[in-house]
Amino acid sequence: DLNPSALMRQTLLGMSRNDQLRSVVEAAPVSREVVRRFVGGVSDQDVIGVATELVDTRRLVTIDYLGEDTVDPVMAERTRDAYVGLLQALSEAGLTADGTVEVSLKLSALGQALGSDGNAIALENARVICQAAANAGTTVTLDAEDHTTTDLTLSVLRDLRQDWPWVGAVLQSYLYRTEQDCRDLATEGSRVRLCKGTYKEPESVAFQDKADVDRSFVRCLKILMEGPGYPMVASHDPRIVEIATVLADKAQREPDTFEFQMLLGIRPEEQLRLAATGARMRVYVPYGEQWYGYLMRRMAERPANLAFFLRGLATR
């Protein structure tokens, strides 16, 4: 029962896992240019340049290091060290004060999936990164992954928050459980990024219909905006942005008590418009050698991005 866009999505998700294709795309000289729209480069130096440009245009930043699939504890440590090095470099570049540039991380990259010890390994690695963030004067947000990890990730969040109350959570409105998670996490100072959710989830745990995911987003956002926490509205959806503005107004929130978040390269004019209204606008910037899978997943989400990408390839 695949419609054309579902078929396209499946093809692109297949491409995201195809190593041969990866090398073709990487080798194409144009890739650099096209990739640059959505990815903040491969090195610390690259991403610091991108972050500086964003900060200079009144935007805040969260940086995600795209590491290799973490299949053993050594790789998890490598990812941890990459974050620690990045935080130090960002701090030296003067970008981390007051959380202007923070980091986002995936516990899977820190070892969460490594068998029965995985969660403890990920927690220990995350602790080292949180300490480095604290030293740099900034914050850390734990990305949300597929639903089988939600409980574990929220338990790591609780542990980390005992020492660093500013650690941010991500909740996905496509999950049925998220309204309750929003209630639980809408506490004083609690940083919660609300997004729709990007993984393919079964009907047993998640809304399948886009309209239901959107309605859930609004219910969740209402809980967060009315509570005493710090909501982070992660969506490019114009209706969601508008509703967030209305809900913040109704809750009599000052502009510095919540923020909007969007991905690098997506609706950049809207990012600038929101920042110019005095809203806090944070851009999520992925970077690292492993940009290919990330890029293909973004293409799968939106064929218009794919057209942009292919146009770039064809004009060479």
Give the residues lining the site for ligand FDA (CB under 6 A). Answer: 143-144, 170, 172, 195-199, 234-238, 261-263, 266-267, 284, 301-302, 305
Strand partners, 141: 104, 168
257/35 Cα distance (integer angstroms): 33
- Rounded to whole angstroms, the Cα distance separating 89 from 123 reads 23
Shortest separation between residue 62's beta carbon and ligand FDA, angstroms: 7
Least distance from ligand FDA to the Cβ atom of residue 228, Å: 22
78/236 with CB nearer ligand FDA:
236
CB 138 within 8 A of CB 87: yes
Determine whether 127 is an active site residue. Answer: no
Tell me, what amino acid is at 172? Q
Closer by beta carbon to ligand FDA, 17 or else 23: 17
Shortest gap between Cβ of 2 and ligand FDA (angstroms)? 19
17 classed as catalytic = no
C-beta closer to ligand FDA: residue 111 or 168: 168
Nearer to ligand FDA, 144 or 186 (CB): 144
The beta-carbon contacts of 207-210 under 8 Å, at least 24 apart in sequence, are 207/173, 207/174, 207/176
Contact 65, 291 (CB under 8 A): no
Q: State in angstroms the smallest separation of the CB of 295 from ligand FDA.
A: 12
As a whole number of angstroms, the distance between CA 101 and CA 136 comes to 10
Minimum distance, C-beta of residue 51 to ligand FDA, in the bound complex (Å): 14
Under a CB-based contact definition with an 8 Å cutoff, are residues 174 and 147 in contact? no
Q: How far, in Å, are 17, 202, 215, 245, 295 from residue 219 at the CA level?
A: 35, 21, 6, 14, 30
Residue number, 127 or 267, with CB nearest to ligand FDA? 267
Q: 77 or 301: whose CB is closer to ligand FDA?
A: 301
* Least gap, CB of 280 to ligand FDA (angstroms): 13
Residues marked active site are found at 143, 193
